Structure 1
Amino acid sequence: MGTDGRRDRDERGRARNARPRDGLGRPLPYGVEGVERQPEGVVRAPAESVAEAQALLDAGRPFHAHEVFEDAWKSGRAEDRELWRGLAQLAVGLTHAARGNRTGGARLLRRGAAALAPRAADGPYGMDVAGLLRWAEEAARAAEDGLTAPPPMLRSPGPPA
């Protein structure tokens, strides 16, 4: 609800929470300065989605990376929806773990990995899905132990420069 007691709405009249958010997507009180929010509903090419999400993950903003993946999931090809959904779940798993929800974080990391597993062999959009599966299990174990996992590397590392 807004400060006037009415629901926040976007320019089309749809309900949207306009409260500022912190770097992990938690709502802050009205009037407090939060981090810039990721715009919603942006249609990007798959490579742009991967690059944008990777930059957000590297900056410690997995909640915002999840929003990029969610846009790709909603606007992308039907055959890629599970891929984007799985990536969004990895980002949300990191978000939960960073917020202190160890069990939920680990569970979402493993759920995201399960959604990605069928794509491990084809490496869609240059992504190292097999590497992501290994990373997700390590990150889930780290979350369970209360440790912080490094951000995933979405693309296969190239040859040394």
Structure 2
Amino acid sequence: MDSTGRGDDGRSAGGRDRDEEGRARNARPRDGLGRPLPYGAAGVARQPEGVVRTPRETVAEAQALLDDGKPFHAHEVFEDAWKSGPEAERALWRGLAQLAVGLTHAARGNVTGGARLLRRGAGAVEEWARGPAGQPRPYGVDLAGLAGWARRLAGTVEVTGAPVDAREAAPRLR
């Protein structure tokens, strides 16, 4: 155990993972779709949490992660924007995060959850675009195109019942 009461594997004396501040946080490595791997396994580097980016940096970083087949990690980038951005844009970033999580579930083979989140995210970004502060292409993001992509993918997942390849199924945000 170190001075924070954590062992070499990040777990507390009680067996629960904790971060540097002592908050509960799963320290297990993750694969590219965010699934936990056994302790000690080689995993994909996690996205740092609480990073404040400009909206354009958020979109660029999320797109790079989507292109790399890592929608779970893209969702974390959108979640940072949702939590740190202006109140008027929170619904936009939350909707984009839902789209990324929907793709994550679809790639993991969770047909019901994937389709549901893809449709929820599509509705959220469309609703935001129609709202008083909304716009159809904030920061160059094609919200109508994304909503169409999400609904098509949801239908495909439901019809095939098979996991999708996250890299091949990734949307173009702009």
Provide TM-score, normalisation by structure 1. 0.90
State the identity as a percent.
70
What are the superposed Cα offsets for residues 72-100 of structure 1, whole Å, 9 maximum, x if unpaired? 00000101111000000000001111111
Deviates more, 1:146-155 or 1:30-39: 146-155
SS across alignment from 1:44:
coil
Q: In the alignment, which of 28, 44, 61 is matched to residue 52 of structure 1? A: 61
Unaligned runs of 5+ in 1: 156-161
Query: How many angstroms apart in 2 are the aligned matches of 1:21 and 1:3?
Result: 19
Count matched residues: 155
Compute the displacement of 1:147 (Å). Answer: 5.7
Q: In the alignment, which of 140, 144, 147 is matched to residue 126 of structure 1? A: 140
Q: In the alignment, which of 20, 24, 36 is matched to residue 27 of structure 1? A: 36
Name the structure 2 match of 1:159: none
Q: Does 1:107 align with 2:116?
A: yes
Compute the displacement of 1:36 (Å). Answer: 0.8
CA RMSD of aligned residues (A): 1.6
Q: Does 1:18 align with 2:27?
A: yes
Query: How many angstroms apart in 1 are the aligned matches of 2:88 and 2:40?
Result: 42
Q: Give 1:78's aligned amino acid.
A: E
The answer on whether the counterparts of 2:17 and 2:25 sit within 8 Å (CA) in structure 1 is yes
The answer on whether the counterparts of 2:110 and 2:163 sit within 8 Å (CA) in structure 1 is no
Q: Give 1:87's aligned amino acid.
A: L
Q: Does 1:94 align with 2:113?
A: no
Name the structure 2 match of 1:76: 85
Compute the displacement of 1:2 (Å). Answer: 2.7
Which structure has the larger Rg?
2
SS across alignment from 2:172:
coil
Query: How many angstroms apart in 2 are the aligned matches of 1:77 and 1:3?
Result: 36
Q: Give 2:173's aligned amino acid.
A: L
Query: How many angstroms apart in 1 are the aligned matches of 2:18 and 2:163?
Result: 38
Query: How many angstroms apart in 2 are the aligned matches of 1:95 and 1:147?
Result: 10
Q: Give 1:116's aligned amino acid.
A: V
Unaligned runs of 5+ in 2: 1-9
Q: Does 1:153 align with 2:167?
A: no
The answer on whether the counterparts of 1:44 and 1:72 sit within 8 Å (CA) in structure 2 is yes
SS across alignment from 1:84:
helix
Deviates more, 1:29-38 or 1:43-52: 29-38
Q: Give 2:157's aligned amino acid.
A: A
Q: Which has the higher contact order (CA 8 A, sep 6+)?
A: 2
Name the structure 1 match of 2:149: 135
Provide TM-score, normalisation by structure 2. 0.84
